[in-house]
Structure 1
Amino acid sequence: MFFRLSIKIGLLVLACVSAGVIWQQAQLSVLAISRINPVPEVEVLVSEERYAEAADYLEFFLNYDYVRNDPAAQALYSEIEEIRNSISYQASKLGEGLIAGTSDEGIGKAAGVITDFFVIGDIRDLTAQGVNWVKGEDVDEVVAALAAIGVVATAAQVASAAATVGSAGAAAPAAAGSTAVKGGVTILKSAKKLGKLPPWLGKTLVNSAKTVKKTKSLDSVADLFSDVYRLARTPGGLNLLSKTTDAASLRRMAKAAEAFGDSTATLYRIGGKTFVTAASRAGQLGTDSIKLASTYGAKGLRTLDKIGPTRFIKYSARASKIAYKGDFFDLMARFLAMVPKWILYLLCSLGVIVWVPWRWFKKWSLPFIQSKQTVAG
């Protein structure tokens, strides 16, 4: 008797817990995920002397109290900024831009594009590839293609600028378009030098250059270079470019960069394709909600998509007020959030069924069944 009663009480407790989990499953799904501690990742980047990338990554998390109030994060950020602001560091990045044509810092990027942005850089590259061809050496078709497109873009810039003056600004959109292509050429040259140019884009450029050379028009590459230009204006844009697989993924990445600006590279580093998917729904999910969810990693982004921004923000705020949850609480929350709903509903049903007074029900229903049988007989 005691054993049966214990089982019934146990099932009742499980039913109550299951009902609570069903009721609070959205909140548990937020409690079950942990926020990212950026300090270890930043320390790795600093050890590799990737100071600009480290600063961008840490700056994103410093927007949130749990990192902003962390002394270790504050000290690490001060250390990075001290190095980046030093004269020797700035001088080295300037030289890097002038010599290699590429850099991860603003001063180096500016130095690297000076010659490339003007037609002299394109003519230089075309000449170099022509010399290689004459000598029977390997010709870099991508560099030659970019240079050819760059020459046409420069001519279009000059023509558009003159037309803009003559038409009192009516030709400004054409000037802006040719400038975007020219800027895209410069960016893609840097990507090629850094090994950040994806294979699909190299093939596309070679084919597109033939069309541009034949038609003397930039129409066939305008959209492509516009997306490249938008993407590369954000910090870490070349890394984002290297992750694209076709023109459609480039367009999605460019739109994400437009929506999230300087945070885009960091958000992609955290969430990868999950972030790009969330960014495509930024109108419904909200940019601030996506940034907040990203502090929990890819799981946070998936949870945001599942429960919606309003509940995610509310439950995240509640979770942040818990000073210490402990390992046991974390494990319990993760376990309960992972239990399928059908199991929870089954436990609820069992908890009710075991307390139904079946003997009373049988006693009450037996005369009714017998009367039915008599009538039938």
Structure 2
Amino acid sequence: MNRSPFHLGKLVWISKWNLLRLSLVVYLLWIFIDDNPYRLARLQLNMIPPADYIAEVQQLAEENRYAEAIMVADVGVKELSGDQLQRLQYVRQNVVDERDSLLRRGGELLRGAVIGEGDSVEALIGAVSADFIIVGDVRDLVIQGTKQVVDGDSDEVILALSAVGLATTLLPEVDWIAALLKVARKTGSLTAGMSKSVVAILKRAKNTGDYTAVTKLFTNVKVIAKQSTPAGMLRLMRHIDNPKQLEIVADFMKRTPAGGYTLHVAGKEGVNALVKSGKKVDDALVIAAKRGDRGMAWFRTGKYRLLRPHPFIGLGKGLYKGTLGEMVERVTREYLDPFGWLTIPCLCLWLIGEVALLFRRFAKTVMLSSPRPQLA
């Protein structure tokens, strides 16, 4: 029997709370089903323990890579708690004391000044300091000039950078970058592609008098050296083939506080991911790096593409600030993600219950509003 709009409207009004709950459960069910692949990826990543910061710091210290050891320790201090935090702080202090040993620092400074090479911060300071007083640039020009005369095999990169150093002696902020790039070239940290680009940029600047490209190049090197330590920058340069990649890495360092540590762990894989995906991969790369080798193994599977915040966090971003946001994120991480396998079946049961209740109410209303048969 057809019902008038009045009867349909009355039925909707009577069932308003039922319909509201039904809409809510459908919406929640859609959210959780859509988010399930992402939930599994987040859950898998969260099951990986944090990196062993203490072991990493000790290993770097044994290799005399003190600046990098301290960089790793500073990241670990923010990630660890309790006894592990106290132990890491103790190990960090030991590294600082060892790094500050006058005898060790003096020897490294002298070595860097004499040969213009080194991978410790002190040796690099020695090499750069020699360039500051022109001695290093003159030394390198003499060495490379002698090689050219003897066997015609001078290093074009060293010659170009030495010339820049002599030309910019009054601009130390530029000069020390040129010196650092020379060290990178001498230690084999400057790739063939990057070496060609550096020479081309310097030659073009010399011919045209426009040093814009040189300034941009040196600024990007400076950012990477400050974020990842000079020694870390030398290792990172082994994975950078051109100025565009250098700029991408520098931009990542600018926008990511833990960028130096992240690429210390991720290395070439991290650089390749940034070059390919840019900002899209920032968060996943940082999180994976903070879980060490196992985190990077997870990253290698490509599942980082599923690493997005739970929709509840996304929906609430505009409504909360401070501790409330942290609470939502913690609830999602500790309850919604681990128990997602139970949440979806529960929501399905809720949906079935609401549909059954609505059907029962609809049937009851129809029966009550139907005309009763007249007795003869």
TM range (shorter): 0.5 to 0.7
- Given the alignment, which residue of 67, 71, 74 partners 1:52? 67
Give the CA deviation at 1:60: 0.8
Q: How does 1:1-377 map to 2 (within 5 A)?
A: 22=33, 25=36, 29-32=41-44, 33=46, 34=48, 35-66=50-81, 69-154=84-169, 157=170, 180-234=173-227, 235=229, 236-260=232-256, 263-271=258-266, 272-273=270-271, 276=274, 281=279, 294-296=289-291, 297-298=295-296, 305=308, 307=310, 317-318=330-331
- What is the identity, as a one-letter code, of the residue corresponding to 1:95? L
CA deviations on 1:228-271 (whole Å, 9 max, x unpaired) are 2332233122223332222221111112223346x432111234
- What is the identity, as a one-letter code, of the residue corresponding to 2:157? V
Note if contact 2:259-2:286 (Cα within 8 Å) is conserved in structure 1.
no
Note closer, same or farther for the CA distance 1:49–1:184 as it changes in structure 2 (3 Å cut). closer
Note if contact 1:125-1:147 (Cα within 8 Å) is conserved in structure 2.
yes
- What is the identity, as a one-letter code, of the residue corresponding to 2:239? K
Aligned pairs, how many?
302
Give the CA deviation at 1:202: 0.6
SS of equivalent to 2:168: helix
Note closer, same or farther for the CA distance 1:66–1:27 as it changes in structure 2 (3 Å cut). farther
Distance (whole Å) between structure 1 residues aligned to residue 164 and residue 331 of structure 2: 55
SS of equivalent to 1:233: helix
Give the CA deviation at 1:133: 1.5
Note if contact 1:132-1:138 (Cα within 8 Å) is conserved in structure 2.
yes
Distance (whole Å) between structure 1 residues aligned to residue 61 and residue 53 of structure 2: 12
Give the CA deviation at 1:274: 7.9
Note if contact 1:268-1:275 (Cα within 8 Å) is conserved in structure 2.
no
Note closer, same or farther for the CA distance 1:314–1:118 as it changes in structure 2 (3 Å cut). farther
Note if contact 2:32-2:344 (Cα within 8 Å) is conserved in structure 1.
no
Listed as ranges, the gaps of 5+ residues in structure 1 are: 1-17, 158-177, 323-328, 354-377
Question: What TM-score do the two structures reach when normalised by structure 2?
Answer: 0.61
CA deviations on 1:204-243 (whole Å, 9 max, x unpaired) are 1222343334334424433222222332233122223332
Note if contact 2:128-2:176 (Cα within 8 Å) is conserved in structure 1.
no
Distance (whole Å) between structure 1 residues aligned to residue 289 and residue 62 of structure 2: 24
Note if contact 1:153-1:181 (Cα within 8 Å) is conserved in structure 2.
yes
Note closer, same or farther for the CA distance 1:290–1:123 as it changes in structure 2 (3 Å cut). same
Note closer, same or farther for the CA distance 1:101–1:312 as it changes in structure 2 (3 Å cut). farther
Listed as ranges, the gaps of 5+ residues in structure 2 are: 1-28, 318-323, 353-376
Q: Percent identity?
A: 23
Note if contact 2:112-2:123 (Cα within 8 Å) is conserved in structure 1.
yes
Give the CA deviation at 1:313: 5.6
CA deviations on 1:115-142 (whole Å, 9 max, x unpaired) are 2134443233223222221222421111
Question: What TM-score do the two structures reach when normalised by structure 1?
Answer: 0.61
Instruction: Provide the aligned C-alpha RMSD in A.
Output: 4.9
Note closer, same or farther for the CA distance 1:135–1:151 as it changes in structure 2 (3 Å cut). same
CA deviations on 1:46-78 (whole Å, 9 max, x unpaired) are 443433322221221111244774454344334
Distance (whole Å) between structure 2 residues aligned to residue 256 and residue 61 of structure 1: 20
CA deviations on 1:132-180 (whole Å, 9 max, x unpaired) are 21222421111112123333434xx5xxxxxxxxxxxxxxxxxxxx655
Distance (whole Å) between structure 2 residues aligned to residue 75 and residue 29 of structure 1: 35
Give the CA deviation at 1:186: 1.3
Looking at both structures, which has the greater relative contact order when contacts are Cα pairs under 8 Å and sequence separation is at least 6? 1
> Which position in structure 2 is the counterpart of 1:365?
none
Is the deviation greater in 33-42 or in 134-143? 33-42
Give the CA deviation at 1:201: 1.3
SS of equivalent to 1:195: coil
Note if contact 2:223-2:253 (Cα within 8 Å) is conserved in structure 1.
yes
Note closer, same or farther for the CA distance 1:303–1:38 as it changes in structure 2 (3 Å cut). farther
SS of equivalent to 1:99: helix
Distance (whole Å) between structure 2 residues aligned to residue 269 and residue 315 of structure 1: 31
